[in-house]
Amino acid sequence: MSNNKNDQRSDRAEYDLIVIGGTVGGLSVAISTQRAGLSRVRVIEPGNAIAFPELVPEHRLEVGYGEKLLGIDHDGTNVIVTTEQRTYVAKGCLIAELHRDPSYEPPVATALSGRVTIDTLPEDLSNSDILVIGHTNHAVELAGQAAAAGAGVVVAAGGMDPAQLAPVADSMIRKLEHERRATILYRSVPDGIGDKDEFPIAYFNDRRTPDLEFDHIVFASTRVRVPRSELNITSAAIDSNKVWFLGVAEPDIDVPHGHAWEIGRLLSNACFPELELPEAPSVVQRRVRHESAIAELREEHYNATITRFEQRHSDLWVLRVRPDHGDTSHIPGQYASLGLGYWEDRVDNCVDPGIDARWHKLIRRSYSISHAMFEASGYFAPPDTVELEFYIVLVPADDDHVSALTPRLATKKVGDRIYLGPKVAGRYTLSAVTNPEAAVVFFATGTGEAPHNSMVVELLRKGHTGPIVSTVTVRNWKDLGYIDAHRALEKRFPNYHYLPMPTREADVPKRYLQDLIRDGDIEAALGTPLDPGNTHAFLCGNPAMIGLPEETVDDEGTTGVSYPETTGVIELLVDRGFTINKRNQPGNIHFEEYW
């Protein structure tokens, strides 16, 4: 590009900084340099949209949409950026436009389709459930676009490090969580993708995340910078140290490159030494345990209020939570996540391992949603779309594990703030019970009966006529937080029976749920044999009670199963002809391990 050609243009515009590409990295540098004192910053976006359009009015950004870049030069003093619309004279230029890495392959083996894509969101996202798989700035961009269009968003972000995100992406991911518009699975990535009734389902091989069904799954590809040949950038511009790049540089070009917050600081030092660029939000050091820092963290992370905190005894609580944003619609049996910060006080004197490094972080745990069962009037409490009820027990610390969340939750009261995750999920539901005359048996340990409370009420509310038995084992009678409601149900519905089993009461023989099957108590309560052809069993709680078998393969390649040493309920039911409900193999044993 010749300087003479530039001089012939009459529409030259002078700026401090030109940012090419409205990516989160480009927006981060534009915003941070404006905050630091630059008054003339322009973002040139070759397309018709930037990563987060709402940032334009919020930060008074100047954006040129649809400006195709023609070339970049340096005249010895300034960078000359030419687009199809005009020529810009600037002290510095950042190339923030990124393209898909041509070598990118999805991390999960799957067949791409109209519902499973790379980087492509469907045109109509309203009321859709979208899974974005990725841990980079680009994954945040896709999640933000989907959430803005009205989709329910989950990001499988295993490996995501907020400190490595561009500041805008870090801020946006926090905002999406705070407003309950996206669920971020920071440690999870699916290990397989299948389909169910023509919809994609993501299979997660860990206990933290169940298999989840979506309308669409989108892989966020890794990104690389635009090739030099497409930029038409001169050697003079490259050598000037006034043109900087986000992303990875080409091997044959020695140019600065890196993450947005690093680039912003380096670019500022090179082109605007008078500026003092602020620290990126993700690396701000808060004063540990300082009152003002705690208030700031609560404001940043908490998005719901505790409206009920009823202690059934000192270590067992029923609490209700009302979110600031969104409703709480759910299917009986599903779960949601609660969270408190490591900065909160504990009810005990234990010290969390590595607390200084974790102090500013949020502790999240998933809890099955319980149910109030009755209103004050005595009628069934309808499904609540305003609040969620949880049934939680204090998990004490021991030599092997220092519990993080419940010892902090124990210090809370009505009116206190808390984090509530946006995604109500789970496949542990009554969807398989389609025959109103079928027998249904629930097995639970402790607070594992939380999902069964709402499932029992759902069956009875819908007029289920088959026998229903709910069993639960606890240590003491006082640990049965809903016993009065269950007894009231028994009086109203002759087909419902509640069998609580305390194991540490002196006047009660010590027995376990397995004994109810061996001794015939379940069949007596049902009034009919345990018939696998007409019975569904639901198990929630201690994995030892459930007794999930492992698949085995011998030296000859023959597959089989291996049950735990202690016989669980599953083994006893399988011996009677029941089958485990699996991904693509429907069965009549449904389970939810509680830890």
Cα–Cα distances in Å, from 110 out to 190, 218, 476? 11, 12, 49
- Asked if the structure places residue 17 within a domain, the reply is yes
Look up the CATH number of the domain holding residue 513. 3.40.50.80
- Asked if the structure places residue 111 within a domain, the reply is no
User: What's the one-letter identity of residue 468?
Assistant: I
Number of domains in the chain: 4
Which residues constitute the domain of residue 96?
3-100+224-281
Question: What are the backbone dihedrals phi and psi of residue 14, each rounded to the nearest 5 degrees, phi first?
Answer: -100, 135
Say if residue 507 is in the same domain as residue 544: yes
What is the β-pairing status of strands 69-74 and 79-83? Answer: antiparallel
What is the pLDDT, as a whole number, of residue 207? 62
- Asked if the structure places residue 270 within a domain, the reply is yes
- Asked if the structure places residue 108 within a domain, the reply is no
Look up the CATH number of the domain holding residue 393. 2.40.30.10
**Residue 248 reports pLDDT greater than 60:** no
Say if residue 214 is in the same domain as residue 234: no
Say if residue 233 is in the same domain as residue 333: no
The strands making up 129-133's β-sheet, listed across from edge to edge, are 116-118, 216-219, 129-133, 152-156, 182-185
Could you list the beta-strand ranges (E) of 387-524.
388-393, 417-420, 439-445, 468-474, 496-502
Q: For residue 571, name the pLDDT band (cuts at 50, 70, 90).
A: very high
What is the chain's mean pLDDT, rounded? 88
* Mean pLDDT of the 415-427 span: 90
DSSP characters for 39-100?
Answer: --EEEEESSS--S-TTHHHHHT-EEEET--EEEEEE-SSSEEEEESS-EEEEEEEEE--EEE
Between residues 500 and 209, which one has the greater pLDDT? 500
Between residues 556 and 170, which one has the greater pLDDT? 170
* Mean pLDDT of the 380-401 span: 85
* Mean pLDDT of the 26-38 span: 88
* Mean pLDDT of the 227-233 span: 85
SS3 content of the chain, % helix, strand, coil (to 5): 25, 30, 45
Question: What are the backbone dihedrals phi and psi of residue 263, each rounded to the nearest 5 degrees, phi first?
Answer: -60, -45
Say if residue 92 is in the same domain as residue 127: no
What is the β-pairing status of strands 335-341 and 362-368? Answer: antiparallel
| Max intra-chain CA distance, the chain | 100
What is the pLDDT, as a whole number, of residue 1? 45
pLDDT digits (tens, 9 = 90+) for 252-305: 444 444 556 566 667 777 788 877 765 554 444 545 566 788 998 999 899 999
Is 519 strand, coil or helix?
coil
Q: Which two tokens stand for residue 122?
A: 């469907």
d(CA 29, CA 64) in angstroms, rounded, equals 16
- Asked if the structure places residue 432 within a domain, the reply is no
Say if residue 172 is in the same domain as residue 215: yes
pTM: 0.79
Is 266 strand, coil or helix?
helix
- Asked if the structure places residue 109 within a domain, the reply is no
pLDDT digits (tens, 9 = 90+) for 433-486: 999 999 999 999 999 999 999 999 999 999 999 999 999 999 999 999 999 999
Say if residue 349 is in the same domain as residue 483: no
Say if residue 267 is in the same domain as residue 344: no
Sequence-separated (6 or more) residues with CB below 8 Å from residue 427: 210, 211, 212, 213
Look up the CATH number of the domain holding residue 139. 3.50.50.60
Say if residue 216 is in the same domain as residue 241: no
Say if residue 506 is in the same domain as residue 589: yes
d(CA 360, CA 63) in angstroms, rounded, equals 35
d(CA 266, CA 273) in angstroms, rounded, equals 10
d(CA 432, CA 118) in angstroms, rounded, equals 33
d(CA 319, CA 281) in angstroms, rounded, equals 34
Per DSSP, the chain holds a count of helices (H) and strands (E) of 17, 31
pLDDT digits (tens, 9 = 90+) for 36-73: 888 899 999 999 989 899 999 999 999 999 999 999 99
Q: Which two tokens stand for residue 304?
A: 């719901």
Sequence-separated (6 or more) residues with CB below 8 Å from residue 150: 125, 126, 127, 128
- Asked if the structure places residue 494 within a domain, the reply is yes
**Residue 504 reports pLDDT greater than 60:** yes
pLDDT digits (tens, 9 = 90+) for 191-216: 999 887 788 989 887 666 777 889 99
- Asked if the structure places residue 106 within a domain, the reply is no
Q: List b or e across 208-244, with b for residues whose CB sees 16 or more CB atoms inside 10 angstroms.
A: ebbbbbbbbbbbbbbbbbbebeebebbebbbebebbb
Query: How many CB atoms within 10 Å of residue 52?
Result: 22
Say if residue 160 is in the same domain as residue 228: no
Say if residue 154 is in the same domain as residue 24: no
Q: Which two tokens stand for residue 451?
A: 């999902």
Contact 306, 370 (CB under 8 A): no
Say if residue 215 is in the same domain as residue 237: no
